Structure formats: structure tokens, C-alpha cells
Structure 1
Amino acid sequence: MTKRARRTSQPTKPLLKAPLRIGSLDAGAVVSELRKMHEDAEDPDVERMPADDELFGALMYAEKHADALRRQTTAVQRAAALKRVRLWEYLREQIDVHQLRAVDDARQAGAQWIELAPALAVGAPSAAYNKSKRLRAVELIDETPRAHRLRRTPEAVLKAERRLALDDAAERRAQEEARRRHKLLVPVVERLLEQREFLRRDDDVDYWLEEIEAVLPHCRTPLQMVSLNRYLDAALRALSRLEKSTARPSALTEDAGLALAAAFELQGGTAGTDRAVE
């Protein structure tokens, strides 16, 4: 019998596995459910159980008073214990985020890595720095299509931070370009709207011109500016399709033709710049 060849595991396989996380959770509601279980079990000390939003204290109480549920069914005891497990895991996920914020506050207040080392339970300033980078991995997402969590290594975090810095710079450039282009776009769009009655239109053309008219007075953010630009593109495509289907020019007057030509030129096209006028 031929022995099946052993499949070699890929070194990156553990890194590609999406981690399981509790994520968003209404912890207060789960604590309330635990409280109800203790009340139903007639726990004599249940009034001493901390409030629903005091997660750590409530968990410590539930652990200390687990015997109060002994007279309940095993299903109830199991459910209560599972709720505690889930809440502890949720709490664990929150710790790194909040510890990182404390580290950032300490650094902003002038704390040196040598001072942070004992607070982070490490033996050297470099180890404190590296641990802070691993903590930051919780807040960063890698560049994989499925948006996996980062590997908790300083190198992976630095790479992600550089990528995010580049993304932020590109976004700022795009927004600045949108603002610059918007200054050129507004007068062209206003002129086109003024000549609307002298353009050959159908329902599609009218729809996009109405969208332009609606968004134009409220363009303040880069996103709104991009939307205006897209609406103009859509209106020009609709005008071109109508002209092609009717074999008749879109502009009915010379002024309308000039307004249409300016819009096509701004959008980077040459079509429409020398259209005939009926």
C-alpha cells in the first residue's frame, strides 16, 4: 500500500487565519442576565453584586458566589459559567486598547521608556517600546483583503503605521485635488444649468441635472465635491447617449453649445467641444 505523502504546512498559514474575537458586546446586559440567575437562585448576597457597568467587580462577585447556583439545574450553572467565560474574554480584548492609551498618555507627559519598563512588566526600555508596539496591533488592521488582525510584532505594526501614514497622505492629496478641481467645476456647472432649457434632454438627462442642482449649493466636504463631479460625468454621458440615439446635437443654441463644450473639456473629454448647433 502506497504511503500517503505528508502535506507540508505553509509557514504563513497561522498568520493567515482570521482570529476569533468577541468584538462588540453589551456587557452590561450579560451581567444583568447573570444577576437574574443569582436572584432566581435566591442568592442571599445578590444585593452586594456590583452594578451592571462594573464589569470586573461583577465578574469577581459571580466567581466568588458561584456556589449560590448549586441548587439550580446543571443547565443553569453551565449557562452562568459560560457567560462568565465570555465576559472575561471580552474584558481581555479591552485591556490592550486601554493600556495602550495609558502608555500614550504617559509618553505625552514626558515618561521615558526606562520608566515604562517596570510598569509594563518588562526588563528593558527597548522591551517596553516593543511591547507598546504589540499593544498597538490591536488598533491596526493589516492590508489583506479580509482585513485580518495584525501579527503582534513591532515590525508588523511599524509596517502598518507606515502604510496608514501613506494612505493618510494620499487621502489629503486627493481632498486637496478635489477642492482645487471644485473651484474650476462650479462655474462650469452653473453655466450648464443656466442653459438647461436650451439642451436636448430626456428623463435620464433631467435626472442628473436635477441631482447636480440639488448638491451644488451644499458642496462643502471633499465627498460632496466628488459627488458633484460624478453627477456631471453622468449628465454628460446621458447627453452623449441621447445625441447618438437621435443623431441630433445636444445644444440648441450657441451659448448652450459653449457651456456643454466647457463641461466636456473640464471632464477631460474632447467630445462635444465642436458640436454643431441646430
Structure 2
Amino acid sequence: MGRKAQKGTAPPKATRERRPARRLQGVDPRVLAGQLYELHARAERGGDQGYLERWPGDGETHGVLLFAQAHAGRLAGEAHQQATLLRITLAEWLRQQADPLQLRALDDARGVGVRWDQVALALQYIGADGEPNPSSAFNRHASLKVAVHGEPEDRRQPHVARIIEARVVREELERRERERTEDARYPAMDAAARALLAHFQAGEILSDPDDNFWWDELVEVVDDRRDATERANLVVYVRGAVHETHAYARRTGQEPTTTAPAAAALEVASALVDPGGAST
């Protein structure tokens, strides 16, 4: 008699402590609302007339959900199933939009001296003794930090909030340092960008006639650098144009430039965007 097949060991159930923060990806609520509308429009053509005149508009997500819930019974079969799934996704999208708004409200409240027991009252976190529960309000604030600022692998738990706070601070410091570095070399980057464009527009720098994305972008932004962030980002466009030209030159076996001054301008720009690196 053969051995009984052993049952595979089921993976451990995701507990509250293990469960990662979830975020919807690639959801456009207007598109989903439009799909809901079409389901109801088909139902209206086959039965009740006129009720879609009260449709709130695709951009009114909360109103769309209320309308779709109130008129769910007008749908049948597969259309009814599709509509319920669309409502689930829309409701989840709407809930996730509320998280950063509530977090900002809590931050603002604490910033102006509102106590945790007052926050608990606003959230109606009331204990069995009828008193507000400030620790629940504190935990809500902490979990919102994880939900809003955390990564998908982060656990949505209050004790992780300190890690998230430290990460946000670190990333902000790194961003400011990058901006300071790029802002300091902005004059050189600006000069390199303008030299590149002069030679490009003179037809002395090779480009793909079917794909000039980065060159077109560089033309648009070079005269529109108004603050430190925008000045720091100029390197992105210069790098893109330089890489685009070198990549096309490699694909076609051509030289990236047709004149010595253009070659010099391209070399200067390459050194700025890839300091210490090899030719792109």
C-alpha cells in the first residue's frame, strides 16, 4: 500500500503584527466611477428610465458610492457582481485618501497644543468608564504615520512609527543635501545645458529623429528654474539628453557630434552628470 500523501504545511496566517501596510496601486477613481456609470446605463436602457439623471458625477467618489449603493438592486447577474467589486475598490481608495488628511489634522492639533485626551474625544475613543482614552488616540496617530509614510513591507503598528519618523527625517535631510550640492554647481550645469542646446539646435549633436524626449524636455525647462529644487533637478534633464545621444550613437554606429566644439560641450556635460564615470 502506498504511503498517504502528506499534506503541505500551510503558511502561517498573517497576524496583525505581521500584516504589511496595504496601498492600492494604479487606481483612477474617475475611471472606476465611469465603469459603474456604464453598468447602470445599460441597466437603465433595459428597465427603469431617468434615475441616472441624479448621477453625482465621476469626480464625486463619495457621492458615486452612495448612489451605487442606493441603486444596486437595479443591476442583476454579472453586472451586479462587477458593480460590487468596483464599489469595494472605490471605497478602499476613498478610505486611503482620508489617512493623510487625518494625519495632517492630528499633527496640526498637536502642534497647537491640543492634548491627547482632547484628540480622543474628537475621535470618540471613550473607555468603559466614560473617560477619553488618550493612549488610543496616540496609537491612532502612530499607525497613521506608518500607513502614510511607511513602505509596503512595513507593519502597520504603532511601535513602527518611530522607525518611519526616523526614515522620513533621514530622507528629508538627504534630499536637502542633494539640493544643496546640485544648487552649488547649478551655474556650471546651466552653462553646460545651454551649450548643449546651442549645438543641438545647430544640428551638431546627434539625436534620434523619432525620440527626442529628453532634448525636448531640456528646451522646456532650461529657462524655468525658479527655486532650489528646480535648479537641482536640471541635472536630470541634462543627463537624460546626454544619455539619449550616446545611446543613439551606439545603436547607429555614428559619432555623437559633428564638430569639435559640440564634442567638447558634450564631454563637459557628461563629466558633470557622471563625475568620475566612463563615457555614457
Query: Which TM class, normalised by the smaller chain length?
Result: 0.5 to 0.7
Number of the residue aligned with 1:91: 91
* Cα distance in structure 2, aligned partners of 1:25 and 1:41: 27
Is 1:126–2:132 an aligned residue pair?
no
Residue deviations 1:174-219 (CA, integer Å, cap 9, x gap): 121112123345668889999x9xxxxxx9x8449xx7xx769647
Radius of gyration: which is bigger?
1
Q: Distance in 2 between matches of 1:160 and 1:189?
A: 38
What is the alpha-carbon distance in structure 1 between the residues aligned to residue 222 and residue 14 of structure 2? 52
- 1:155 and 2:164 aligned: no
Q: Secondary structure at the match of 2:185?
A: helix
The answer for the alignment partner of 1:139 in structure 2 is 148
Residue 51 of structure 1: aligned partner: 56
Q: Give the % identical residues.
A: 13
For structure 1, list consecutive stretches of 5 or more residues without a partner in the other structure: 70-74, 143-147, 197-202, 237-249, 253-257, 270-278
The equivalent residue for 2:46 is 40
Following the alignment from structure 1 to structure 2, what is the Cα–Cα distance between the partners of residues 160 and 9?
28
Shift of residue 125, structure 1, vs aligned partner: 1.3
Counting only pairs closer than 5 Å after superposition, residues 107-256 of structure 1 correspond to structure 2 as: 107-108=107-108, 110=112, 111-123=114-126, 124-142=133-151, 148=152, 150-184=154-188, 206-207=205-206, 218=223, 220=225, 221=230, 222-228=232-238
Taking the aligned partners of 2:155 and 2:79, their CA distance within structure 1 comes to: 33
Gaps of 5+ in 2: 127-132, 208-214, 247-258
**Structure 1 pair 141–23 and aligned structure 2 pair: CA distance change class (3 A):** farther
From 49, 66, 71, give the equivalent of 1:62: 71
Query: Secondary structure at 2:28's aligned position in 1?
Result: coil
- Higher deviation after alignment, 30-39 or 13-22: 13-22
Q: Is the 8 A contact 2:116 2:135 kept in 1?
A: yes
1:69-88 maps to which residues of 2 (within 5 A)? 69=74, 76-88=76-88
Greater RCO, CA 8 A, separation 6+ = 2
Question: Matched residue of 2:76: which SS?
Answer: helix
SS at match of 1:51: coil
Distance in 1, matches of 2:196 and 2:88, equals 62
1:58-90 deviation per Cα after TM superposition (whole angstroms, max 9, x unaligned) = 034224xx2xx4xxxxx9334224303431442
Q: Alignment RMSD, CA only? A: 5.3
Letter of the structure 2 residue corresponding to residue 223 of structure 1: N
Shift of 1:101: 1.2
Q: How many Å separate the matches in 1 of 2:53 and 2:269?
A: 72
Match for residue 28 of structure 1? 33
- Count of residue pairs brought into register by the alignment: 234
